[in-house]
Amino acid sequence: MLEVAGLSVYYGAVRAVEDVDLYVAESELVALLGANGAGKSSVIAAILGIPTVIRGSVRFEGIELIGMATDRIVARGIAVVPEGRGVMARMTVLENLQLGAYHLKRGGAARIAEVCERFPILGQRLRQQAGTLSGGERQLLAIARGLVGRPRLLILDEPTLGLSPIAIRDLFEAICDLHRGGQTILLAEQNAYQALQAADRAYVFDVGRVTLQGSARELMQDERIQHAYLGEYLAEGGE
């Protein structure tokens, strides 16, 4: 569904991403792993056409995205849940969801109702100001907003940032649920263990390049991954 080839992203003179190849097939959950600043968010920004200097190719369902305006890319069926959630704090939960329906010609209200069934906590708080929600609830709202438009590809950028462990657990439940339902997902995460548990495949980023890739299971057993990301977990006696 999504094919990225030879992608390089520059912010001014700084090269944030260098010669990255990756792909996401339908109904897959693909994870992008790596520390902050490793390039994951820049790849996502490039898919959306945000940085000014992008080289290479990003093809979505056969169409080249580079050079296309962001709103048209979103209209083609890519929804992004941005880092930091990007929830409009001074608008109500309902209004935030309605923003997600911007590109729907009709049936927005019905779609919102559907999404609220999946996330009942949002359905209960439709009239509340989004700023009063907890971090975990806001993350769910951001995801729900993305889902309203019936995206072919849902991209999540660091959804666990700033969330409590319980909220993270609920979050991954929701993500896995979506995955099981057939939603294609691209997930950028620093939380490698949880991400690998949920994902089918993953790419590991470092300093703007892909340094490792493979199926989630392979990567989980890779020594380098264990050393770099799972060290703490293993030290606590996990598997």
Partner 1 sequence: MEVFLAQLVAGLSIGGIYALVAAGMNLLLLVRNIMNYSFAYVVLMATYFGWMAMEATDGDPALGVITMFASALLLTVVTEPLFRVMASRNAPLEAVVVGVGMGMVLTEVMSQFIHQGRPLVFPSALTSWGPGMSHGLFVVSFPQVVAIVVGVLTVVGLLTFLYRSKQGRAFRAMAQDLGTARIIGIPLTRAGVYSFILAGLMAGIAAILVSSALSTSSAPLADLLALKATVVVLVAGGGNLVGGFLLALAVGVAESLTQAYMPGRWSVALVFGILMVAIIARPNGVFGSRS
Q: Which residues form the interface with partner 1 (CB under 8 A)?
A: 48, 50, 69-75, 79-80, 82, 86, 88-91, 95, 98-103, 145-146, 149
Please give the structure tokens belonging to residue 117: 């069934």
Nearer to partner 1, 41 or 184 (CB): 41
Which runs of consecutive H residues, i.e. helices, occur in the chain? Answer: 40-47, 70-75, 93-100, 108-118, 120-124, 135-148, 165-180, 192-198, 216-221, 223-228, 231-235
Q: How far is the CB of 141 from partner 1 (least distance, A)?
A: 12
Dihedral sign for Cα 10, 74, 195, 134, please. positive
- Determine the Cα–Cα distance for residues 124 and 154; give it in Å rounded to an integer: 24
Instruction: Please identify which residue in the block is written with the tokens 């094919």.
Output: 3
Please give the structure tokens belonging to residue 148: 């309203």
Nearer to partner 1, 90 or 239 (CB): 90
Nearer to partner 1, 119 or 229 (CB): 119
Q: How far is the CB of 111 from partner 1 (least distance, A)?
A: 13
Residues with Cβ within 8 Å of 118's Cβ and at least 6 positions away in sequence, in order, are 144, 147, 174, 177
Query: Are 51 and 162 in contact, with CB atoms under 8 Å apart?
Result: no
Q: How far is the CB of 216 from partner 1 (least distance, A)?
A: 27
Q: How far is the CB of 151 from partner 1 (least distance, A)?
A: 10
Nearer to partner 1, 86 or 123 (CB): 86
Query: Are 152 and 184 in contact, with CB atoms under 8 Å apart?
Result: yes
**CA-based nearest residue to 30, from 225, 226, 183, 167:** 183
Q: How far is the CB of 148 from partner 1 (least distance, A)?
A: 10
Nearer to partner 1, 103 or 118 (CB): 103
Under DSSP, the state recorded for 91 is S
Nearer to partner 1, 75 or 228 (CB): 75
Q: How far is the CB of 70 from partner 1 (least distance, A)?
A: 5
